[in-house]
Structure 1
């Protein structure tokens, strides 16, 4: 296993801007993102920082704005590669896949924002490209959504995506569990996703 840590869109827009993270508490997720970056640096795991960019007239992530800037949690820490993107997946139009392949990376650990948007899109894309994916539940986050299709709280949305990720696309873990796995001898590897086991457990829970 050769990991890289993807730190996705940890920008001021999600902290003091127009997209304030609602769940988990943003201070908690930012602290865990910092811990994951520090652990990666100690373990020699490459850190890739991903930054969303939009035109200067955009209400969010406008290039050059305060919201566009990386949050200090990320800005004060070293990284090995910076990716600027315009679409949800960190792979779309960025050359990230080539950068990872050149370094023999086969496992991606995802932290950052938002859970169901850029995090999930990147995780699905990575899985389809053959990477093993790890998704840190308390180092990611989102906010409430409401549109013509319905409404969902930030917590409901976050938890639902975690269940979907663990069912097929990623090993979901807390930051503490991931740090233990990184520092361990491999015997405490994270549980792999299994769609049959997830659906079987779901049926049993529904019948109970």
Structure 2
């Protein structure tokens, strides 16, 4: 890790947990791993950026001003940590994330958060479109979470299979997918 590395925590918000409007599969496992990374980055005084999705009234979840849209208390930003607010899956799209990373001379990003097949996938691909490339993108696989996905025709793809498939695709062409334990070695 270096001072040119930023931890990006995407959408770890209350609606993704058990009492939320859009609960994911095993979000607490992902949260516990994010907490380990967050502690390490805080202890090393490294850049931490929280991304918060805020939706307009009528959206199924993350509606601005609701408890569900709040960042989970276990990873609440400290006063010296940046919060980027977004309205789209890609954390770079119509936000100040890229400018923030450039202003801090960040060359490497470590991506964590939720949902794997949506905002994590879009953010990692978005990072590659704005100039971050393998090996400068690391995705910590066990800090991400997803949910079962219905398929037209009445079948469902299980959350673990969705998780594996999207992480494999990101690892193939966009960044290095590793575990929390391996990153912290």
Q: Same fold (TM over 0.5)?
A: yes
- Structure number with greater Rg is 1
Indicate conservation of the 8 Å contact 1:3/1:109, yes or no.
Answer: yes
2:143 aligned residue: 139
Change (3 A) 1:58 1:92: same
C-alpha deviation, 1:73, in angstroms = 1.3
Aligned-pair RMSD on alpha carbons?
1.5
1:118 aligned residue: 119
2:9 aligned residue: 7
What SS does the aligned partner of 1:67 have?
A: helix
2:53 aligned residue: 52
Q: Unmatched 5+ residue regions in structure 2? A: none
CA deviation map 1:58-89 (0-9, x unaligned): 22111111111111111265652101100001
Indicate conservation of the 8 Å contact 1:33/1:139, yes or no.
Answer: yes
Q: Unmatched 5+ residue regions in structure 1? A: 181-208
Are 2:23 and 1:20 aligned? yes
Aligned pairs, number = 178
For 1:24-173, what aligned pairs fall within 5 Å after superposition? Answer: 25-75=26-76, 80-131=81-132, 132-148=136-152, 151-173=156-178
What SS does the aligned partner of 2:98 have?
A: helix
TM-score, with length taken from structure 2 = 0.91
Change (3 A) 1:79 1:30: farther
C-alpha deviation, 1:128, in angstroms = 2.1
If each structure's helix is expressed as a fraction of its own residues, which one has the higher value? Answer: 1
Indicate conservation of the 8 Å contact 2:171/2:177, yes or no.
Answer: yes
CA deviation map 1:169-203 (0-9, x unaligned): 011011111112xxxxxxxxxxxxxxxxxxxxxxx
Change (3 A) 1:76 1:91: closer
1:196 aligned residue: none
What SS does the aligned partner of 1:99 have?
A: helix
> In structure 1, what is the Cα distance between the partners aligned to 2:146 and 2:11?
12
TM-score, with length taken from structure 1 = 0.81
